[in-house]
Amino acid sequence: MKRIRLVVAYDGTNYCGWQLQKNGVTIEEMLNRELTALLKEPIAVIGASRTDAGVHAMGNVAVFDTENPMAADKICLAVNQSLPEDIRVQSSEEVSPDWHPRKANCTKTYEYRIENRRVVMPTKRLYSYFCYYPLDIEKMRQGAAFLLGEHDFKSFCTAKSNVEDTVRTIDGLEVEKEENTIVIRISGSGFLYNMVRIIAGTLIRVGTGAYPPEEVAAILAARDRRRAGPTAPARGLTLVEMKYETVLSPWKHSENAEWSYHVLQSHIKEKETAFFLIERCREEDWTGLIRRNVHHAFQNGARRVLAVDWEKNRLREGDSYGYYRIQGMNSWQLEEAIGILEKEEKERILELSCGASWYCAVDGGSYFPLNSG
Protein backbone atom coordinates (compact mmCIF):
# COMPACT_ATOMS: atom_id res chain seq x y z
CA MET A 1 0.00 0.00 0.00
CA LYS A 2 1.29 3.48 -0.86
CA ARG A 3 -0.07 6.99 -0.42
CA ILE A 4 -0.23 9.37 -3.39
CA ARG A 5 -0.47 13.14 -3.17
CA LEU A 6 -2.23 15.06 -5.94
CA VAL A 7 -2.24 18.75 -6.80
CA VAL A 8 -5.58 19.46 -8.46
CA ALA A 9 -6.80 22.42 -10.50
CA TYR A 10 -10.41 22.95 -11.50
CA ASP A 11 -13.01 25.38 -12.75
CA GLY A 12 -15.71 25.10 -10.09
CA THR A 13 -18.52 26.58 -12.19
CA ASN A 14 -20.28 23.31 -12.95
CA TYR A 15 -19.73 21.60 -9.60
CA CYS A 16 -21.35 21.59 -6.16
CA GLY A 17 -17.98 22.12 -4.50
CA TRP A 18 -15.27 19.65 -3.56
CA GLN A 19 -16.93 17.35 -1.04
CA LEU A 20 -19.23 14.46 -1.94
CA GLN A 21 -22.92 15.46 -1.89
CA LYS A 22 -26.25 13.87 -2.74
CA ASN A 23 -27.61 16.88 -4.60
CA GLY A 24 -25.02 17.33 -7.32
CA VAL A 25 -21.70 16.43 -8.93
CA THR A 26 -18.53 17.36 -7.01
CA ILE A 27 -14.79 17.41 -7.68
CA GLU A 28 -14.19 14.64 -5.15
CA GLU A 29 -16.77 12.44 -6.87
CA MET A 30 -15.12 12.88 -10.26
CA LEU A 31 -11.64 12.09 -8.92
CA ASN A 32 -12.86 9.01 -7.07
CA ARG A 33 -14.67 7.72 -10.13
CA GLU A 34 -11.82 8.16 -12.60
CA LEU A 35 -9.05 6.99 -10.24
CA THR A 36 -11.08 3.90 -9.37
CA ALA A 37 -11.48 3.10 -13.06
CA LEU A 38 -7.80 3.74 -13.76
CA LEU A 39 -6.30 1.79 -10.85
CA LYS A 40 -8.87 -1.04 -10.81
CA GLU A 41 -9.56 -0.70 -7.07
CA PRO A 42 -11.86 1.47 -4.92
CA ILE A 43 -10.29 4.90 -4.43
CA ALA A 44 -11.42 7.59 -1.97
CA VAL A 45 -9.43 10.82 -2.02
CA ILE A 46 -8.95 13.04 1.04
CA GLY A 47 -8.88 16.73 0.15
CA ALA A 48 -7.01 19.49 1.93
CA SER A 49 -9.55 22.24 1.23
CA ARG A 50 -13.23 21.46 0.75
CA THR A 51 -14.07 24.37 -1.53
CA ASP A 52 -17.69 25.51 -1.98
CA ALA A 53 -19.88 25.28 -5.07
CA GLY A 54 -18.59 27.62 -7.77
CA VAL A 55 -15.16 28.18 -6.18
CA HIS A 56 -12.13 27.51 -8.39
CA ALA A 57 -8.69 26.08 -7.62
CA MET A 58 -5.24 26.16 -9.16
CA GLY A 59 -3.58 24.07 -6.47
CA ASN A 60 -5.84 22.11 -4.15
CA VAL A 61 -4.17 19.06 -2.58
CA ALA A 62 -5.53 15.55 -2.02
CA VAL A 63 -4.21 12.12 -1.10
CA PHE A 64 -5.36 8.54 -1.61
CA ASP A 65 -4.03 5.06 -0.85
CA THR A 66 -3.48 2.43 -3.51
CA GLU A 67 -1.92 -0.99 -4.04
CA ASN A 68 -1.59 -0.45 -7.78
CA PRO A 69 2.08 -0.61 -8.94
CA MET A 70 1.71 2.28 -11.40
CA ALA A 71 4.49 4.86 -10.89
CA ALA A 72 3.23 7.72 -8.75
CA ASP A 73 4.32 10.46 -11.16
CA LYS A 74 2.48 8.77 -14.05
CA ILE A 75 -0.91 8.72 -12.34
CA CYS A 76 -1.65 12.39 -13.04
CA LEU A 77 -1.01 11.98 -16.76
CA ALA A 78 -3.10 8.84 -16.96
CA VAL A 79 -6.13 10.06 -15.01
CA ASN A 80 -6.23 13.36 -16.92
CA GLN A 81 -7.09 11.39 -20.05
CA SER A 82 -10.53 10.59 -18.64
CA LEU A 83 -11.28 13.55 -16.37
CA PRO A 84 -13.54 16.31 -17.77
CA GLU A 85 -11.78 19.31 -19.27
CA ASP A 86 -12.54 21.54 -16.26
CA ILE A 87 -10.57 19.29 -13.85
CA ARG A 88 -6.85 18.58 -14.22
CA VAL A 89 -4.40 16.89 -11.86
CA GLN A 90 -1.25 19.01 -12.05
CA SER A 91 1.09 16.54 -10.35
CA SER A 92 1.17 13.24 -8.45
CA GLU A 93 3.83 11.91 -6.11
CA GLU A 94 4.27 9.31 -3.38
CA VAL A 95 4.35 10.55 0.22
CA SER A 96 4.73 8.84 3.59
CA PRO A 97 1.77 6.62 4.59
CA ASP A 98 0.89 8.86 7.55
CA TRP A 99 0.98 12.17 5.68
CA HIS A 100 -2.39 13.93 5.85
CA PRO A 101 -3.23 17.09 3.85
CA ARG A 102 -5.34 18.64 6.63
CA LYS A 103 -3.01 17.82 9.53
CA ALA A 104 0.33 18.98 8.11
CA ASN A 105 1.31 22.63 8.66
CA CYS A 106 0.34 24.57 5.58
CA THR A 107 -0.06 28.09 4.22
CA LYS A 108 -3.06 28.47 1.94
CA THR A 109 -3.35 31.32 -0.51
CA TYR A 110 -6.64 32.48 -2.02
CA GLU A 111 -7.42 35.23 -4.49
CA TYR A 112 -10.73 37.03 -4.79
CA ARG A 113 -11.20 38.89 -8.10
CA ILE A 114 -13.45 41.88 -8.62
CA GLU A 115 -14.20 43.42 -12.02
CA ASN A 116 -14.69 47.10 -11.19
CA ARG A 117 -16.15 48.69 -14.32
CA ARG A 118 -19.40 50.15 -15.65
CA VAL A 119 -20.30 47.17 -17.84
CA VAL A 120 -19.60 43.51 -17.14
CA MET A 121 -16.95 41.78 -19.26
CA PRO A 122 -18.53 38.49 -20.44
CA THR A 123 -15.24 36.58 -20.64
CA LYS A 124 -14.58 37.23 -16.93
CA ARG A 125 -18.06 36.66 -15.55
CA LEU A 126 -17.33 33.11 -14.32
CA TYR A 127 -14.12 34.00 -12.46
CA SER A 128 -14.79 37.37 -10.84
CA TYR A 129 -17.43 39.43 -9.06
CA PHE A 130 -18.77 42.37 -11.06
CA CYS A 131 -19.07 45.67 -9.17
CA TYR A 132 -20.04 48.84 -11.01
CA TYR A 133 -19.64 51.14 -7.99
CA PRO A 134 -16.18 52.78 -8.04
CA LEU A 135 -14.02 51.15 -5.36
CA ASP A 136 -11.37 53.07 -3.40
CA ILE A 137 -8.47 50.65 -3.33
CA GLU A 138 -6.47 52.66 -0.77
CA LYS A 139 -9.30 52.50 1.72
CA MET A 140 -9.63 48.78 1.07
CA ARG A 141 -5.93 48.35 1.86
CA GLN A 142 -6.31 50.33 5.08
CA GLY A 143 -9.22 48.16 6.16
CA ALA A 144 -7.37 44.95 5.24
CA ALA A 145 -4.42 45.87 7.48
CA PHE A 146 -6.56 45.39 10.62
CA LEU A 147 -7.01 41.69 9.77
CA LEU A 148 -3.33 40.73 9.68
CA GLY A 149 -2.09 38.39 12.40
CA GLU A 150 -3.81 35.97 14.75
CA HIS A 151 -7.36 36.95 15.79
CA ASP A 152 -10.75 35.55 16.59
CA PHE A 153 -12.49 35.77 13.20
CA LYS A 154 -15.96 34.87 14.45
CA SER A 155 -17.37 37.96 12.70
CA PHE A 156 -16.08 36.57 9.41
CA CYS A 157 -17.53 33.08 9.72
CA THR A 158 -20.95 31.85 8.59
CA ALA A 159 -23.19 32.14 11.66
CA LYS A 160 -24.42 28.55 11.50
CA SER A 161 -20.94 27.04 11.36
CA ASN A 162 -20.38 24.31 13.97
CA VAL A 163 -16.66 25.03 14.45
CA GLU A 164 -15.69 25.43 18.10
CA ASP A 165 -12.55 27.55 17.73
CA THR A 166 -12.80 30.59 15.43
CA VAL A 167 -9.21 31.82 15.93
CA ARG A 168 -7.16 31.90 12.74
CA THR A 169 -3.97 33.58 11.49
CA ILE A 170 -3.68 35.73 8.38
CA ASP A 171 -0.05 36.03 7.29
CA GLY A 172 -0.62 38.20 4.25
CA LEU A 173 -3.48 40.29 2.87
CA GLU A 174 -2.90 42.41 -0.22
CA VAL A 175 -5.28 44.44 -2.36
CA GLU A 176 -3.98 45.17 -5.85
CA LYS A 177 -5.50 46.69 -8.98
CA GLU A 178 -4.57 46.28 -12.62
CA GLU A 179 -6.75 48.18 -15.06
CA ASN A 180 -10.32 47.20 -14.09
CA THR A 181 -9.44 44.13 -12.04
CA ILE A 182 -9.03 44.29 -8.26
CA VAL A 183 -7.42 41.23 -6.62
CA ILE A 184 -7.64 40.53 -2.90
CA ARG A 185 -4.86 38.04 -2.15
CA ILE A 186 -4.97 36.40 1.29
CA SER A 187 -2.66 33.83 2.89
CA GLY A 188 -2.96 31.95 6.17
CA SER A 189 -2.66 28.62 7.92
CA GLY A 190 -6.39 27.95 7.66
CA PHE A 191 -9.74 29.64 7.09
CA LEU A 192 -13.23 29.37 8.54
CA TYR A 193 -16.26 28.50 6.43
CA ASN A 194 -16.85 31.40 3.98
CA MET A 195 -14.19 33.48 5.80
CA VAL A 196 -12.39 34.70 2.67
CA ARG A 197 -15.64 35.58 0.90
CA ILE A 198 -16.95 37.49 3.93
CA ILE A 199 -13.66 39.39 4.16
CA ALA A 200 -14.00 40.21 0.46
CA GLY A 201 -17.60 41.36 0.94
CA THR A 202 -16.55 43.55 3.88
CA LEU A 203 -13.64 45.13 1.99
CA ILE A 204 -15.95 45.84 -0.95
CA ARG A 205 -18.18 47.75 1.49
CA VAL A 206 -15.10 49.70 2.59
CA GLY A 207 -14.21 50.39 -1.04
CA THR A 208 -17.66 51.83 -1.78
CA GLY A 209 -17.51 54.08 1.29
CA ALA A 210 -20.28 52.23 3.16
CA TYR A 211 -17.76 51.45 5.92
CA PRO A 212 -14.76 53.56 6.94
CA PRO A 213 -11.54 51.50 7.01
CA GLU A 214 -11.39 51.53 10.83
CA GLU A 215 -14.80 49.83 10.95
CA VAL A 216 -13.01 46.59 10.02
CA ALA A 217 -11.23 46.66 13.40
CA ALA A 218 -14.55 47.19 15.18
CA ILE A 219 -16.15 44.32 13.23
CA LEU A 220 -13.26 42.02 14.16
CA ALA A 221 -13.51 42.93 17.85
CA ALA A 222 -17.29 42.45 17.92
CA ARG A 223 -17.09 38.70 17.10
CA ASP A 224 -20.54 39.02 15.56
CA ARG A 225 -21.29 37.90 12.00
CA ARG A 226 -24.05 40.51 11.71
CA ARG A 227 -21.48 43.31 11.85
CA ALA A 228 -19.49 42.23 8.79
CA GLY A 229 -20.32 42.69 5.12
CA PRO A 230 -22.11 40.17 2.89
CA THR A 231 -20.62 36.91 1.68
CA ALA A 232 -19.20 37.73 -1.75
CA PRO A 233 -20.24 35.37 -4.60
CA ALA A 234 -18.27 32.13 -4.95
CA ARG A 235 -17.29 32.66 -8.58
CA GLY A 236 -14.74 35.34 -7.67
CA LEU A 237 -12.74 33.02 -5.39
CA THR A 238 -9.79 30.84 -6.40
CA LEU A 239 -7.59 28.65 -4.20
CA VAL A 240 -4.22 29.55 -5.70
CA GLU A 241 -1.75 27.34 -3.84
CA MET A 242 -0.96 25.36 -0.70
CA LYS A 243 2.60 25.42 0.67
CA TYR A 244 3.43 22.77 3.25
CA GLU A 245 5.96 23.47 5.97
CA THR A 246 8.92 21.08 5.95
CA VAL A 247 10.82 22.54 8.95
CA LEU A 248 9.27 24.10 12.05
CA SER A 249 10.26 27.69 12.73
CA PRO A 250 12.23 27.88 16.04
CA TRP A 251 9.89 30.44 17.60
CA LYS A 252 6.25 31.30 17.14
CA HIS A 253 4.95 34.63 18.46
CA SER A 254 1.47 36.12 18.42
CA GLU A 255 0.35 39.48 19.78
CA ASN A 256 -2.91 41.40 19.49
CA ALA A 257 -5.29 43.32 21.78
CA GLU A 258 -6.52 40.12 23.43
CA TRP A 259 -3.32 38.08 23.99
CA SER A 260 0.45 37.85 23.61
CA TYR A 261 2.49 34.64 23.77
CA HIS A 262 5.65 32.86 22.60
CA VAL A 263 6.19 29.20 21.68
CA LEU A 264 9.67 27.66 21.38
CA GLN A 265 9.39 24.81 18.87
CA SER A 266 13.05 24.01 18.10
CA HIS A 267 13.20 20.96 20.42
CA ILE A 268 9.99 19.26 19.37
CA LYS A 269 11.59 16.94 16.82
CA GLU A 270 14.46 15.55 18.92
CA LYS A 271 13.24 16.06 22.50
CA GLU A 272 9.46 15.99 21.98
CA THR A 273 9.32 19.15 24.08
CA ALA A 274 7.87 22.62 23.46
CA PHE A 275 7.91 25.73 25.66
CA PHE A 276 4.81 27.93 25.84
CA LEU A 277 5.05 31.35 27.50
CA ILE A 278 1.93 33.47 27.96
CA GLU A 279 2.59 37.17 28.54
CA ARG A 280 -1.08 38.17 28.74
CA CYS A 281 -4.50 36.85 27.81
CA ARG A 282 -8.09 37.96 28.47
CA GLU A 283 -10.02 35.61 30.75
CA GLU A 284 -12.61 34.82 28.06
CA ASP A 285 -9.85 33.70 25.67
CA TRP A 286 -7.76 31.75 28.18
CA THR A 287 -9.09 28.22 27.71
CA GLY A 288 -9.05 28.44 23.91
CA LEU A 289 -5.52 29.84 23.90
CA ILE A 290 -4.15 26.97 25.99
CA ARG A 291 -6.04 24.22 24.18
CA ARG A 292 -5.20 25.54 20.73
CA ASN A 293 -1.46 26.01 21.24
CA VAL A 294 -0.88 22.82 23.22
CA HIS A 295 -2.79 20.83 20.58
CA HIS A 296 -0.75 22.40 17.78
CA ALA A 297 2.50 21.50 19.56
CA PHE A 298 1.32 17.89 19.96
CA GLN A 299 0.33 17.74 16.28
CA ASN A 300 3.89 18.79 15.46
CA GLY A 301 5.34 15.93 17.53
CA ALA A 302 5.60 17.17 21.13
CA ARG A 303 4.76 14.85 24.02
CA ARG A 304 5.06 17.55 26.66
CA VAL A 305 4.57 21.31 26.61
CA LEU A 306 6.18 23.33 29.39
CA ALA A 307 3.93 26.30 30.04
CA VAL A 308 4.09 29.43 32.15
CA ASP A 309 1.51 32.18 32.68
CA TRP A 310 3.59 35.26 33.34
CA GLU A 311 0.58 37.53 33.82
CA LYS A 312 -1.62 35.83 36.45
CA ASN A 313 -0.29 32.31 37.21
CA ARG A 314 -3.61 30.78 36.13
CA LEU A 315 -2.23 27.31 35.40
CA ARG A 316 -3.16 24.72 38.03
CA GLU A 317 -2.09 21.10 38.48
CA GLY A 318 -4.87 18.71 37.52
CA ASP A 319 -6.68 21.14 35.20
CA SER A 320 -7.69 19.77 31.80
CA TYR A 321 -7.80 21.58 28.48
CA GLY A 322 -9.48 19.34 25.93
CA TYR A 323 -7.35 16.20 25.65
CA TYR A 324 -4.52 17.66 27.73
CA ARG A 325 -3.79 17.60 31.47
CA ILE A 326 -1.68 20.03 33.51
CA GLN A 327 1.05 18.60 35.75
CA GLY A 328 3.09 20.47 38.34
CA MET A 329 6.91 20.57 38.10
CA ASN A 330 9.49 20.55 40.85
CA SER A 331 12.90 22.22 40.59
CA TRP A 332 14.63 19.04 39.37
CA GLN A 333 12.13 18.49 36.61
CA LEU A 334 12.36 22.10 35.48
CA GLU A 335 16.17 21.96 35.52
CA GLU A 336 16.11 18.83 33.36
CA ALA A 337 13.78 20.48 30.84
CA ILE A 338 15.66 23.76 30.71
CA GLY A 339 18.88 21.78 30.26
CA ILE A 340 17.95 20.80 26.71
CA LEU A 341 18.01 24.43 25.59
CA GLU A 342 20.79 26.24 23.79
CA LYS A 343 22.37 29.12 25.72
CA GLU A 344 20.49 31.89 23.88
CA GLU A 345 17.20 30.00 24.12
CA LYS A 346 17.67 29.45 27.86
CA GLU A 347 18.42 33.13 28.44
CA ARG A 348 15.34 34.20 26.50
CA ILE A 349 13.09 31.62 28.19
CA LEU A 350 14.19 32.71 31.66
CA GLU A 351 13.80 36.37 30.71
CA LEU A 352 10.28 35.86 29.35
CA SER A 353 9.10 33.69 32.25
CA CYS A 354 10.08 36.33 34.83
CA GLY A 355 10.18 33.84 37.70
CA ALA A 356 6.58 32.61 37.29
CA SER A 357 5.69 28.98 38.08
CA TRP A 358 6.17 26.39 35.35
CA TYR A 359 3.74 23.58 34.57
CA CYS A 360 3.71 20.78 32.03
CA ALA A 361 0.86 19.91 29.66
CA VAL A 362 0.69 16.24 28.69
CA ASP A 363 -1.75 14.06 26.78
CA GLY A 364 -4.49 13.14 29.25
CA GLY A 365 -4.82 9.71 27.69
CA SER A 366 -1.18 8.76 28.15
CA TYR A 367 1.70 9.39 30.53
CA PHE A 368 4.93 11.24 29.80
CA PRO A 369 7.35 10.67 32.69
CA LEU A 370 9.08 13.75 34.00
CA ASN A 371 12.58 13.36 35.42
CA SER A 372 12.14 13.48 39.19
CA GLY A 373 15.84 14.12 39.79
Which residue is catalytic, options 52, 136, 171, 285?
52
Tell me how far apart the alpha carbons of residues 190 and 48 are, in angstroms, rounded to a whole number.
Answer: 10
165 carries an active-site annotation: no
Give, in order, the Cα–Cα distances in Å from 186 to each of 55, 56, 172, 199. 15, 15, 6, 10
- Under a CB-based contact definition with an 8 Å cutoff, are residues 64 and 44 in contact? yes
| Exposure b/e, 278-296, CB count within 10 A at least 16 = b | bbebeeeebebbbbbbbbb
Tell me how far apart the alpha carbons of residues 160 and 123 are, in angstroms, rounded to a whole number.
Answer: 34
| DSSP calls for 25-65 | --HHHHHHHHHHHHHTS----EES--PPTT-EEEEEEEEEE
**Residue 89 phi, psi (nearest 5):** -80, 120
Run of H or E including 138: helix 137-145
Tell me how far apart the alpha carbons of residues 223 and 14 are, in angstroms, rounded to a whole number.
Answer: 34
Tell me how far apart the alpha carbons of residues 329 and 341 are, in angstroms, rounded to a whole number.
Answer: 17
Tell me how far apart the alpha carbons of residues 269 and 263 are, in angstroms, rounded to a whole number.
Answer: 14
Active site residues: 52
